[in-house]
């Protein structure tokens, strides 16, 4: 599948294309973040209204392509076979509550594609490209990720791509969601550790 005009491709995996978002992706992003199952362990646990996606989330994603070093930001994940939107994968300077430093990995997939290993496939390719300097930006030395302790699927993705458990921690959440009493977990992978992962 060639890169679509105006939607430059960042990288490819055997099954997926990872590319920039554009304003034309509003419907897909709104559907992703509007899904209660996707949002169950994220933010306040509630779907994000379409008007918030249109007015804040998507514009911020697009602005980040100009503000962040090359390769960092939030990227659309699409199936190479047919081009269907599958979800997103993101790498940014860490800013989740409780994290201190590092480059933070995140991912969200449409419920319809869960269980196919897409998140790990896209995320491991993105992490590899960040570590091997392919993007040409400043060095990425340590990738971190955090999720609710009870978010088993997310933790499995981290483990599949080589991140290691660092700690469990507890932050104050004004509107705690189910499972938050078990806290959050942090996982990390340094460039040196990544270099010694089995291929």
At 21 the three-state DSSP class reads: coil
Residue closer to ligand COA, measured from CB, 60 or 153:
153
Among positions 21, 41, 131, 194, the unique one binding ligand COA when judged by CB under 6 A: 41
- Give, as ranges, the residues between 97 and 156 that touch ligand COA (CB under 6 A): 106-109, 114-120, 147, 151, 153-154, 156
Among positions 29, 77, 126, 157, the unique one binding ligand COA when judged by CB under 6 A: 157
Q: CB of 86: closest distance to ligand COA in angstroms? A: 8
Separation between Cα atoms, residue 72 and residue 64, nearest integer Å: 8
Separation between Cα atoms, residue 33 and residue 106, nearest integer Å: 14
- Going through 43-153 in order, the beta strands assigned E by DSSP cover 73-79, 85-93, 103-109, 142-148
- Give, as ranges, the residues between 15 and 34 that touch ligand COA (CB under 6 A): none
Q: CB of 98: closest distance to ligand COA in angstroms? A: 12
> Hunting for tokens 């705690």 — which residue is that?
176
Distances (CA, A) of 90 to 125, 153, 168: 11, 17, 22
Which stretch, 37-45, 54-62, 131-139, 182-190, contacts ligand COA (CB under 6 A)?
37-45
- The alpha-carbon radius of gyration of the chain (Å, integer) is 16
Q: Which residue(s) pair with 146 in the sheet?
A: 186
- Applying CB under 6 A, the residues found at the interface with ligand COA are 38, 41-42, 106-109, 114-120, 147, 151, 153-154, 156-157, 160
């Amino acid at each position: 599948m060639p890169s679509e005009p105006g939607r430059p491709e960042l990288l490819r995996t055997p099954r997926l294309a990872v590319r920039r978002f554009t304003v034309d992706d509003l419907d897909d992003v709104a559907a992703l973040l509007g899904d209660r199952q996707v949002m169950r362990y994220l933010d306040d646990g509630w779907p994000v209204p379409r008007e918030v996606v249109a007015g804040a989330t998507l514009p911020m994603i697009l602005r980040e392509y100009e503000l962040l070093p090359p390769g960092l930001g939030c990227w659309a994940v699409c199936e190479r076979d047919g081009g269907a939107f599958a979800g997103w994968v993101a790498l940014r300077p860490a800013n989740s509550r409780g994290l201190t430093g590092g480059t933070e990995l995140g991912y969200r997939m449409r419920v319809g594609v869960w269980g196919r290993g897409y998140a790990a496939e896209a995320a491991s390719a993105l992490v590899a490209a960040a570590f091997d300097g392919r993007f040409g930006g400043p060095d990425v030395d340590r990738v971190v990720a955090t999720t609710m302790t009870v978010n088993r699927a997310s933790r499995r993705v981290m483990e599949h791509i080589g991140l290691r458990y660092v700690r469990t921690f507890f932050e104050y959440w004004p509107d705690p969601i189910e499972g938050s009493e078990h806290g959050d977990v942090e996982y990390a992978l340094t460039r040196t550790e990544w270099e010694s992962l089995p291929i």
